Chains A and B, each alone.
Chain A
Amino acid sequence: MPHSSHMRASEVASMVSLGKRTAVQFAAAALEAQSRSASLHATLAISPEATMRIAADVDARVARGERLPLAGVPVLIKDNIATGPDLRAVGDELGFGGTTTCGSKFLETYHSPFSATAVERLIAAGAVPIAKTNMDEFGMGSSGENSAFGVTRNPWDASRVPGGSSSGSAAGVAAGIAPLALGSDTGGSIRQPASFCGLVGVKPTYGRVSRWGLVAYASSLDQIGPIATCVTDAATCLEVLCGIDSHDATSAAKPAPALVAGLELPLAGLRVGIPRQARSEANHGAVTGALNTAADALRSLGVEIVDVELPHTDVGIAAYYIVAAAEASSNLARFDGIRYGRRAVVASTDSLETLYSRSRAEGFGTEVKRRIMLGTHVLSSGYYDAYYASAQKVRRLILGDYESAWARCDAILMPTAPGPAFAIGEKTSDPLAMYMEDVYTVGINLAGLPAVSVPAGFASLGDSRLPVGVQLVGRAFDEATMLHLARGIERSLDLDLVPPAIT
């Protein structure tokens, strides 16, 4: 019996393609691993019947001679990415399993009538969805603690958070349920959990991957991307996800790039910038260590390391939380208790507004309410110019910082997060402390650039050994160079990234 635990996606695809193992065997093993890891709260609704049906179909396609880049690869899907009737049990289209909840009580029983383009592309490439994954409600959180369905735990230390908001995608891959997961990244939600869980996480260039079927949080920032155990698997998955989609008017009219082919080529001659602002004294020592280790690894491969400036780094958080909250207040207006999701019980004499307000009050968690109110405030008459219009101008300045940096380097290296995984409960009472987790990630979303987090070291905290990632930022639509450099760091460091067994 094959065990998918900590096997790479490329190994699974190769074995299934060569007929050594079947997709059905890998899917069954992944469902078993999912059950064993239940204490992590990484996964939400699943339909094992749909999983096994899709796996059997992959085996039939392989038998017919189809060449599938992700043949039989078990995948996890963040629960803000729509999964349609094909991912539910036959004859039970509205029953248990196959919901798309966004980690919210509001959508606890919501069944999407269609699948996201990203999900359809994965399945077309031979991947087999195993489960939806737990997440901070609507993507609003940096720890996995803001889910209506329980806190996700970090497989490296169950008393710590896995990061967020793609908490279950990262925890699930780190725990070995599947070698690959889809996350979404609005301000760091793929990269920070990848860093906390010892994984590779890619936030593609805005427009690179279709957002059709991704429940919108902040539409000008959101991107779907892969979380994997290695750079090659992440690149393979991203190749599958990329490309224009007529359903998403912001998907870029660019051909899907070749990302895997060049990963092992020499790196000599490339220049990588390290922003002075990323060497903050507020960084944990292990983060500084990982940054230096990664820079040394690149130098040893012939990469020139240069200093660059990102002078608006310190206003990125303020600008991001204004723009994201503003867009969230608008996007989440659709959750009105009438068209889908939760509907409050109101008296026959109550107004339409009462139905809206009570349904939303019952369905949304504290952080979601906070961001909706923040967004409503910054967009309201009298405050718009002071907050929202100013934040959009800061966004222009941040993009300008990167454009200046590209004159000196081909990619930028900086920490993914200021520290390693923190303890569950450590930051829940202070929203600003939680927002500061995103200090190195949000600017990249505001500028629409691609970035990849790759493991570069460990932090020792008490009895725990926690992985620490660094991120490489690329020019717009140049995922290839940053992944090439990330692969160089990965190959050079060759870290042991399997977490201790879950007890």
Chain B
Amino acid sequence: MNPPTSTPHAKSGAATDDAITPAQVRRVARLSRLELSDPEIDAARGSLASVLGYMDRIRSLNLAGVEPLTHASGEGNRLDRDVPRVTLTTEQVRAMAPAMDGPFVVVPKVVGGGDSEGGV
């Protein structure tokens, strides 16, 4: 796994607590697919600032040359044989979906409606 390259922006320490603006909270809420009210944005701004401010302490460590640890077991994932087996049936999947139309799962229109986000 190759982590995305960081921008100079981050290296300059842009994420300090006082740097968190309502616009930034709105951006992260949007990326999180969470519809927040204005009071929620305000509250989130305060708590995110305090938690991120605390997290900044790891930036004081010298981490040069330290290999990231991604798997606690040190073994990574164990691969199974590639053989077909029964998983969920169509009926089970249908039973879980909150909105069905006959055999179809109902979703808002994602093409042709000028919704630039929907098809992503």
Could you list which residues of chain A lie within 8 angstroms of chain B, going by C-beta atoms? 94, 110-111, 113-114, 205-207, 220-221, 246, 249-253, 314-315, 317-319, 321-322, 329, 333, 336-343, 346, 348, 350-358, 360-361, 364, 366, 369-370, 372-374, 376-378, 380-397, 399, 431-432, 435, 445-448, 476
Contacts and interface: CB of A to CB of B under 8 A. Distances in A.
Nearest to B29: A373
B108 A351 contact: yes
A352 B29 contact: no
A110 B96 CA distance: 7
Contacts of B113: 351
Contacts of A314: 57
A394 B61 contact: yes
A110 B98 CA distance: 10
A456 to B, nearest CB: 27
B58 A252 contact: no
Contact of A395 (B25, B69, B78): B69
28 contacts: A314-B57, A318-B54, A318-B58, A338-B97, A339-B97, A339-B105, A343-B98, A348-B108, A350-B108, A351-B115, A351-B118, A352-B108, A352-B118, A353-B117, A357-B33, A357-B35, A369-B34, A373-B28, A373-B44, A384-B4, A385-B10, A386-B10, A386-B15, A390-B59, A390-B61, A394-B63, A397-B61, A476-B74
Given A352-B118, A361-B36, A391-B58, 10 more contacts: A336-B33, A351-B118, A357-B35, A361-B34, A372-B34, A373-B25, A373-B34, A377-B52, A380-B28, A431-B51
Q: How large is the interface on B (under 10, 10 to 19, 20 to 34, 35 or more residues)?
A: 35 or more
A220 B59 contact: no
A114 B87 CA distance: 10
Contacts of A249: 77-80
Contacts of B115: 351-353
B77 to A, nearest CB: 4
A333 B51 CA distance: 22
A89 to B, nearest CB: 16
Contacts of A111: 95-96
A385 B3 contact: yes
B34 A352 contact: no
A449 B13 CA distance: 33
Nearest to A208: B73
A352 B35 contact: no
Interface in B97-117: 97-99, 105, 107-108, 110, 113, 115, 117
Which 9 pairs between the two chains have the least Cβ-Cβ distance?
A448-B72, A392-B68, A385-B6, A343-B98, A113-B92, A357-B35, A393-B66, A206-B72, A396-B69
A451 to B, nearest CB: 13
A316 to B, nearest CB: 10
A447 B68 contact: no
B72 A393 contact: no
B73 A448 contact: yes
| Chain A interface, DSSP helix/strand/loop, else mixed | helix
B75 to A, nearest CB: 7
Contacts of B68: 389, 392-393, 395-396
Contacts of B67: 393, 396
| Chain B interface, DSSP helix/strand/loop, else mixed | loop
Contacts of A340: 96-98
Contacts of A113: 88, 92, 95-96
B36 to A, nearest CB: 7
Contacts of A329: 32
B31 interface: yes
A77 B71 CA distance: 27
B23 interface: no
B58 A315 contact: yes
B29 to A, nearest CB: 6
A376 B31 contact: yes
B63 A393 contact: yes
B72 A431 contact: no
Contacts of A435: 51
Given A390-B63, A396-B69, A355 B6 contact: no
Given A357-B35, A380-B31, A432 B51 contact: yes
A145 to B, nearest CB: 15
Contact of B51 (A321, A351, A353, A361): A321
A221 B58 CA distance: 19
A432 B54 contact: yes
A476 B73 CA distance: 8
B11 A385 contact: yes
Contacts of A336: 33
A382 B9 contact: yes
Contacts of B95: 94, 111, 113
B58 A220 contact: no
A376 B71 CA distance: 20
A370 B44 contact: yes
Given A340-B96, A386-B11, A354 B29 contact: no
A361 B32 CA distance: 10
Given A111-B95, A315-B58, A383-B15, A355 B51 contact: no
B47 interface: yes
Given A338-B105, A386-B11, A251 B78 contact: yes
Interface string B5-40: 011011101110000000001001111111110001
A352 to B, nearest CB: 4
B34 A392 contact: no
Contacts of A322: 55, 58
Contacts of B32: 329, 360, 369, 372-373, 376
A339 to B, nearest CB: 6
Nearest to A248: B78
